[in-house]
Amino acid sequence: MSRTYDDGVRAGIKEQLESDLVEYASRIEILEEELDRIRKAKWVAVLQHRLCETHKGPAHDLRHKMDILNRDNPISVSEKIRIIEDNAKSVGVLV
């Protein structure tokens, strides 16, 4: 076989492998984003569960706190909890 044929076969294989690698990297990125979203949702659920177990106030206050945890804000969950606690202290509610 000629050198040109072998080079063409190698180039074709290399092109297919590069295409596969790009596809795999894209799929991994999508899966990692999904995993991050699910992890965040899990921790919000854990915090809501803890809040339900420890909350001593009226039900509407509990719902309000849980709504704050559910909001899709760029702030972290710990920042949301701090905001809830600060607001509760300012109106004289024990959290």
Which structural domain range is residue 36 located in?
3-90
| The two structure tokens encoding residue 9 | 């076969």
User: Which has the higher per-residue pLDDT, 42 or 2?
Assistant: 42
The per-residue DSSP string of 9-58 comes to HHHHHHHHHHHHHHHHHHHHHHHHHHHHHHHHHHHHHHHHHHHHHH--S-
In a domain, 64, yes or no: yes
Helices 59-70 and 77-90 meet at what angle, rounded to 10? 150
In a domain, 18, yes or no: yes
pLDDT-based confidence at 16, cuts 50/70/90?
very high
pLDDT value, residue 9: 94
Count: domains in the chain = 1
pLDDT value, residue 45: 85
| The two structure tokens encoding residue 85 | 């606690």
In a domain, 95, yes or no: no
Model confidence pLDDT, tens digit, residues 26-74:
999 999 988 988 888 888 888 888 888 888 888 888 888 888 888 765 6
**Under a CB-based contact definition with an 8 Å cutoff, are residues 93 and 83 in contact?**
no
In a domain, 22, yes or no: yes
**Global confidence as pTM:** 0.55
pLDDT-based confidence at 18, cuts 50/70/90?
very high
Give the span between the Cα atoms of 22 and 76, in whole angstroms: 32
